[in-house]
Each structure stands twice: as structure tokens, then as C-alpha cells.
Structure 1
Amino acid sequence: MSDPGAVLADLRAESEELDALVAGLPAERWAVPTPAEGWTVTHQIAHLAWTDRQALLSATDPDGFARAAQEAFAAPLTFVGEAAEAGARTPPAGLLAQWRAGREELQRALAERPSGEKLPWYGPPMSVASMATGRLMETWAHGQDVADALGVTRTPTARLRHVARIGVRARNFSFAAHQLTPPAEEFRVELRAPDGTVWEYGPAAAGQRVTGEVLEFCLLVTQRAHRADLPSVRAEGADAERWLEIAQAFAGPPGKGRAPSGKAATS
């Protein structure tokens, strides 16, 4: 089980890195389109601010979250985009202040919850560590959209281990989301980390295998790049090959993914 304190520290660091990327932008740069179709830099930060608020509600008012989730499920394909659109109407300075305040509240709320407690979410309930890991994954993924829009190349960090772990653990969900039966056997996944070490998941003798650079794997499972643009990510076995075609680390219906060479196809 992950240490909630360590995950929260990594979440803070990931958020601060993205914050530094947008804090000095002039207002007109917040309107730059990102690779997510229809979403500007403002929409990306608005989305993160909104999801932080939902996670805070989950941690502090489960009944209130249940009511909010019920409303969201009435429009399962549009509620995320509608929330981002509403948040994007806030001027950049105000939106940045809201995001900062909200994520600090979330940090405190999660730190105060018992580590084994299950918090409600839009999918299965999550532990404190899992909730923080999910927020980190989203912050990294939407931060990638912002970086791509601004022409910034980010340096991969060891925090990618959280994104990779979600991606691996979401294998069965990826199949189910596409109405496919998940493979019965575990896969072996070997990913080269930024420091050159290899992060390993699954039994060493597994017949189905995935290997590659962790950054490229994370871009794949968050659907921030098309597989054709991620040459290091390779599969051995038909089931593993199929997984890489449909992998997604995020909850909800199947994403459209990105077109080759970073052309937009999804938000």
C-alpha cells in the first residue's frame, strides 16, 4: 500500500511544477488552444480546479458528493466538459487563485483522513493514497496538455511511477470500458525510469509483456500521445498488443485518444 503522505508530497510537487508553468503567463496566453479539442490553457486549469473541489467534497462531505455525482451521471458524456467551460469563464488571475486555494484545502483534508478509509468517487471508492494518486495523474496529464500548447518540454521525474502504476492497474478497466473481457492472466510490464532503473509489474514469467520508457507509457495510458509516436512502447502477445490499443488510466467512457503526431482528437 502506498504511503499517503509520500503521495501527497508528490502531488504537491506536481501541482507546483504546473503552477510555475502558467503563473507568469499574460492573459492572452491562457487562451492558447491545447491539444485537447476545444480546450484552452484556461480550460485545463479550470478542469483541475473543479476536480480538486470534487475530491475535497468526497473527503469532507460524502453525502454531498453523492448528490453531485448523481447529477453528473445524468449527463455522463458532457458533465466534465461543461464544468471546464463554466470554470474557464473566470479570469486567469482569479482562476489561478481558486486552483491554488482548492488544492491546498484538498491536501489538508486528505492528510487528515485515516489512510485506510474509502472515499467515494465517480468509479469505485478509493483510499486516501489512491485519491491523491489519481489527482497526481490528472495534474500530470493535463499539465502535459498545457506544456504541449506552450511549446514546453518537461523533464520526466520519478513522480511518473504513480501514473504508470495507475496505468498498469487500470488494464482490466480498459478492456471493460470497450466491452471486452479482460485477459485472465497477468501481464509483465517493464518500464525504464528517468534515472535508468527499470520499474517492474506483474510476474516475470508472464507470456504477455509490455516494455518501454516510462514517459512514453504514461503518455499512452493517459492518451496524451498516439502509439505511433511512442516507439519505445512494445508488446509481446496478442492480448498485450490489444491493451496498448485501448489503454486508459482515467475513469469514464473510452477516450478517443490522440491522432498521430499530436493532432487533437479528444479532451
Structure 2
Amino acid sequence: MADPTPVFDDLRAESDELDRLVAELSPDQWSLATPAPRWTIAHQIAHLAWTDHAALLAATDAEAFGKEVEKALAAPDRFVDEGADEGAARPPDRILADWRSGRQALQDALRAAPPGTRFPWYGPPMAAASMASARLMETWAHGQDVADALGAVRTPTDRLRHVARIGVRARDYAFGVRGLTPPAEEFRVELAGPGGDVWAYGPETAAQRVTGPALDFCLLVTRRAHRVDLAVRAEGEDAGRWLDIAQAFAGPPGEGRTAKRDGRTAEGDGR
């Protein structure tokens, strides 16, 4: 089994980068609207703290986590927003402190997990490294919302490899969550990483192909930008359909990001 430590280190680094972005914000800035409908910067960080808490329960108290799943099943269209609303109502310093302590506790729990351990989740059970990758993906995506609200430009890093991998692996999920039959054949995905290297997935001879910058692909699969504004290209009808609906996150698609080019709206809001 591969050493999961690099994934944990990358999650810490991604969280620390977002922490630096919000640590010195004024109370008024915490109230700034982000691209996600009704969500402020406070909602974004409160949501990360809320999800870290759920992940910590999954890693340390399966019975308690099972009760959280029951709450989610009872209100599938509301439980995420309700959790964010509750957290965002707290003072900014409390939101930040809760997020910091929660993500540290989750890091400790994931690093202490015996090899081969799998934790329950809202979908299939997850290994510690997979849990860390998923938390990194969500931290990066919500960090993009915060950066957009502040007008900040983030420098892409090789940590995007985790986001891209989840996006590729979630191809069939993106079709299934919309009631569509996933394509039978594998796709070839070739992405230009921030350092200039190529990240390749799938058979080299596949007829259906997706190419483009890794950053743009990650923005696409996290629904943080509309396809028409990104330099991601598809070869093949099925690959094109996938780029219209791709998502790396679990849950139903919501509203979405408006295209800067012509005002169209993507299907998923990316929460």
C-alpha cells in the first residue's frame, strides 16, 4: 500500500493557503457574497468546518456519524445549507477557530488510522487517503469561491492533481446523478499541470478524449467556472456531454456559475 503521508501533507498545505487568505479579513469582509447563491465567505469557511467535523466523526465514531447520515437523508435538499447557515451565524473569530481545530483533529485521526482502514461516508466507505483527497478537493473549491469574492488570484499548484483525479474518477457518477447512462468505454484525459508536465488518465488509444490545462479542468469539475470560459476541449460526442455535466463533488446539481462570455448558466452550483 502506498504511503498516504503526501496526501495528508497536501491537505494541510491547501488548508493553510486558504487560512492565510481569510485570517486577516475584517468582519465586513467575512460578510462578502461569494459566487455560491446566498453564501458569504463566512458560509464557505463554516461549511468546511462542518464537513471536517462530519469526516472526523466518520473516522472516530461511526455510530455518531450514522446519525448525521440520517439527518442528511431526512432533508437532502437542505442539510448542507442549514449547516452552513448555522455556522455562518457565529462571529468570524469563532468560525476560524472552529475550522482550525477541526481540521487539525481530522488530520490527526487520518494519520493515526491503521493501514487498510475504511471509514463510512455519505457515499461508499473511504480509505484515509481518499478522505484526505476529498477534503483537499472541497477545500480548494471553496477556497476558489473565497478568492473570487475577494478578487484574489491564486497560483495553481501540483496539489490540483488530487482534484483532477477525483474529477476523472467521478465521470460515471456525473452521468448517474442526472439519471443518464454512463458511456461504456473509457476516456483519455490529458491535462497540462502547473509545472508543464502532462497528467494522463485512461487508455492512450481511446476515441473519446479530453485535453486542456489542469487548472481549467479542476474549475470545470468543481463547477467553479462555466465550460465556455475554460480551455478544456473534448473529442467525441460522449466526451462533450461529460464536460457539460462533469462534477467531482457528491450530491445533486444545483443552480450554477454564469458564463462570463455569454451569460449562460452551468447546471451545478458546486457546493
TM-score, structure 1 normalization: 0.97
- Unmatched runs of 5 consecutive residues or more in structure 2: none
Residue aligning to 2:255: 256
Contact 1:223 1:255 in 2 (8 A): no
Q: Which amino acid aligns with 1:184?
A: A
Contact 1:187 1:208 in 2 (8 A): yes
Q: Which amino acid aligns with 1:63?
A: E
- Comparing both chains, which one has the higher relative contact order based on Cα–Cα distances under 8 Å and sequence gaps of 6 or more? 1
- Unmatched runs of 5 consecutive residues or more in structure 1: none
Say what the alpha-carbon RMSD is for the aligned residues.
1.3
**Superposition pairs for residues 189-208 of structure 1, below 5 Å?**
189-208=189-208
Residue aligning to 1:47: 47
Question: In the TM superposition, what is the alpha-carbon distance from 1:2 to its structure 2 partner?
Answer: 5.6
Matched, 1:227 2:241: no
Question: In the TM superposition, what is the alpha-carbon distance from 1:118 to its structure 2 partner?
Answer: 1.2
SS in 2 for 1:210: strand
Q: Which amino acid aligns with 2:247?
A: Q
Residue aligning to 1:153: 153
Alpha-carbon separation, structure 1, partners of 2:2 and 2:235: 29
Q: Which amino acid aligns with 2:208?
A: Q
Matched, 1:58 2:58: yes
> CA deviation digits over 1:46-76, x for unaligned, max 9?
0000000000000000111011111111000
Alpha-carbon separation, structure 1, partners of 2:171 and 2:219: 15
> CA deviation digits over 1:11-45, x for unaligned, max 9?
00000000000001111100000000100000000
Alpha-carbon separation, structure 2, partners of 1:47 and 1:6: 25
Residue aligning to 1:171: 171
Q: Which amino acid aligns with 2:257?
A: R
Paired residue total: 266
Question: In the TM superposition, what is the alpha-carbon distance from 1:257 to its structure 2 partner?
Answer: 2.8
Residue aligning to 1:241: 240
Alpha-carbon separation, structure 1, partners of 2:61 and 2:77: 25
Question: In the TM superposition, what is the alpha-carbon distance from 1:3 to its structure 2 partner?
Answer: 3.4
Q: Which amino acid aligns with 2:233?
A: R
Contact 1:248 1:255 in 2 (8 A): no
Alpha-carbon separation, structure 1, partners of 2:185 and 2:167: 17
Residue aligning to 1:96: 96
SS in 2 for 1:83: helix
Identity of paired residues, percent?
Answer: 64
